[in-house]
C-alpha cells in the first residue's frame, strides 16, 4: 500500500536524537532554543516559541492574542478541527468563512461580505485564523487589508505551509499577520515526531506566547511583581499550560530543518508530474496562486464525474492509499450541537464530497508515483 503521506528520517536525524539521549538535557536544555532560532532564520520571523503540537500552538496564539470569554473567532470549515477548537478552549465563540472553489483557501469576497455584515451587527471577530490549505498560502496581503481596519488579530494556521512562500517571503515570516503556527507532525514538511511552533514579529505577543506555553511561569526578573528572592526564583504570572517541546523532539526537528528545502523540491517535482499527467482526466486540480510557492503538503484532486466512495475503494483495493481532507468542521456532531448545520458553507461541503488526497511524500519513488497515476487512470476510464 502506497500511503498518502510518510515521514523521512535518516541516520543524521537518528544521531541527533541519540546525542541528546546520551549527552544532554532531555528537556529544558539548549536544543529547543537552537531549533527556535533556526526556525526564525529560515522563515524570517523575529521570534519563535516551540511547542508540543500545532494544536497547542493555536491555543497559545489565541491566548497571546487576548482571545477570551465572550469573544469571537473566525476560521474556515475546510480544515482539521484544531483550527476552530483553539478558540473554544479560550471560552470564545467560533464562526466560519467559506473557501474559494479554486484555491480551497479562504474566499476573499466571502470574507469581505461577512465583515461588512458583522460590522453592521456590531459583532466583528476578535481574531481570524486563516489556513494555508495543502501548503499554498492564502492571499495574505488582501486579508490583512480587510482585517486591519477593524483591528482583528490575524493568525496563520500554517500547519501545511512550512517551506512554502508568498510574495517571495517564506510562510511563517509574519509579514502580513500577527502570529503564525507551524506543525511538525510526521507527515508535514518536517517532523519532530510531534511538535509545533508559534512565530511572531511582535515582542509582546512573543512574551505572552512564551508565558502561556510554559505554565504561565517566568524566571525573567524584569517581569516579576516585587523583588526576587534569589537566582532560583520564579513567578507564575498567568494561568498557562505545559506545552513545552522536549529537547529530544527539537533535536529531530533541527536535523530535519536542514533538509527542508530538499524535501520541498521533491514534493514540488511530484506535484508537477501529477499536474501534467492528470491534466486531461475528469478531475479538478487546485489552482496555484502565482504569488505563492506551495509547500505541497497535500496533493488534492476533485472528482467531477465519478463517485468519490467508489474511486476511494477501488484505489485502496489496488494498493493506492488515498485519503480525504477534510470533513468540514461545522459538520462534526460537536459543532452541529452548538448550532451549525449542513448547507451553512456549501463550497466547503461540495469540495469534501468530491475530494481525494493522492500520495505525496519526499521519499516517494518515480515507480510509486507512476503506479498511482496508472491506477487512477485505470479506475477513471
Express each pLDDT in 206-254 by its tens digit.
Answer: 999 999 999 999 999 999 999 999 999 999 999 999 999 999 999 999 9
CA 99 to chain centre: 16
342 and 219 assigned to the same domain: no
In a domain, 341, yes or no: yes
246 and 339 assigned to the same domain: no
* Percentage of residues of the chain with pLDDT beyond 90: 98
In a domain, 3, yes or no: no
* CA dihedral over 310, 316, 317, 318, signed as positive or negative: positive
Reply yes or no on whether the pLDDT at 287 is more than 90: no
Reply yes or no on whether the pLDDT at 147 is more than 90: yes
In a domain, 6, yes or no: no
340 and 375 assigned to the same domain: yes
Number of structural domains found in the chain? 2
Domain end among 187, 222, 257: 257
314 and 342 assigned to the same domain: yes
The domain spanning residue 106 has which CATH number? 3.40.640.10
Strand partners, 95: 74
Distance between CA atoms of residues 227 and 20, nearest Å: 36
346 and 253 assigned to the same domain: no
Chain mean pLDDT for the chain? 97
Domain end among 207, 236, 257: 257
Mean pLDDT of 137-147: 98
Q: Which domain holds residue 352?
A: 260-380
Reply yes or no on whether the pLDDT at 268 is more than 90: yes
Looking only at the bridges linking them, the beta strands covering 127-131 and 153-157 are parallel
Query: If you count them, how many residues does the chain have?
Result: 381
Mean pLDDT of 122-147: 98
The 10s digit of each residue's pLDDT in 84-106 is: 999 999 999 999 999 999 999 99
266 and 300 assigned to the same domain: yes
Mean pLDDT of 153-171: 98
Cα separations in angstroms, 237 against 198, 224, 225? 20, 8, 8
- What integer pLDDT is reported at residue 24 of this predicted model? 84
Reply yes or no on whether the pLDDT at 288 is more than 90: no
Amino acid at each position: 500500500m502506497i500511503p498518502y503521506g510518510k515521514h523521512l528520517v535518516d541516520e543524521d536525524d537518528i544521531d541527533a536524537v541519540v546525542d541528546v539521549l546520551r549527552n544532554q538535557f532531555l528537556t529544558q536544555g539548549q536544543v529547543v532554543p537552537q531549533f527556535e532560532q533556526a526556525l526564525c532564520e529560515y522563515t524570517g520571523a523575529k521570534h519563535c516559541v516551540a511547542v508540543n503540537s500545532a494544536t497547542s500552538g493555536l491555543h497559545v496564539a489565541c491566548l497571546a492574542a487576548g482571545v477570551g470569554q465572550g469573544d469571537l473567532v473566525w476560521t474556515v470549515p475546510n480544515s482539521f478541527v484544531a483550527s476552530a477548537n483553539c478558540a473554544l478552549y479560550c471560552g470564545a465563540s467560533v464562526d466560519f468563512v467559506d473557501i474559494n472553489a479554486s484555491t480551497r483557501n479562504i474566499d476573499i469576497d466571502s470574507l469581505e461580505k461577512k465583515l461588512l455584515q458583522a460590522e453592521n451587527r456590531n459583532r466583528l471577530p476578535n481574531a481570524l485564523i486563516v489556513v494555508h490549505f495543502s501548503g499554498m498560502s492564502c492571499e495574505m496581503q488582501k486579508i490583512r487589508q480587510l482585517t486591519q481596519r477593524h483591528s482583528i488579530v490575524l493568525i496563520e494556521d500554517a500547519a501545511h505551509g512550512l517551506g512554502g512562500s508568498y510574495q517571495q517571503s517564506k510562510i511563517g515570516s509574519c509579514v502580513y499577520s500577527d502570529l503564525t503556527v507551524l506543525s511538525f507532525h510526521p507527515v508535514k514538511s518536517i517532523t519532530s515526531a510531534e511538535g509545533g511552533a508559534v512565530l511572531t514579529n511582535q515582542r509582546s505577543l512573543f512574551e505572552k506566547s512564551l508565558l502561556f506555553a510554559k505554565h504561565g511561569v517566568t524566571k525573567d526578573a524584569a517581569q516579576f511583581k516585587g523583588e526576587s528572592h534569589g537566582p532560583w526564583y520564579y513567578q507564575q504570572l498567568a494561568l498557562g499550560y505545559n506545552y513545552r517541546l522536549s529537547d529530544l523532539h527539537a533535536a529531530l526537528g533541527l536535523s530535519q530543518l536542514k533538509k527542508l528545502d530538499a524535501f520541498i523540491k521533491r514534493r514540488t517535482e511530484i506535484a508537477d508530474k501529477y499536474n501534467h499527467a492528470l491534466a486531461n482526466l475528469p478531475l479538478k486540480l487546485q489552482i496555484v496562486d502565482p504569488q505563492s510557492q506551495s509547500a505541497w503538503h497535500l496533493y488534492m484532486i476533485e472528482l467531477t464525474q465519478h463517485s468519490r466512495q467508489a474511486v476511494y475503494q477501488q484505489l485502496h483495493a489496488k494498493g493506492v492509499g488515498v485519503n480525504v481532507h477534510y470533513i468540514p468542521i461545522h459538520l462534526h456532531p460537536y459543532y452541529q450541537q452548538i448550532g451549525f448545520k449542513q448547507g451553512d458553507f456549501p463550497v466547503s461541503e461540495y469540495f469534501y464530497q468530491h475530494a481525494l488526497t493522492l500520495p505525496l511524500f519526499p521519499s516517494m519513488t518515480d515507480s510509486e508515483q507512476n503506479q498511482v497515476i496508472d491506477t487512477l487512470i485505470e479506475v477513471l476510464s
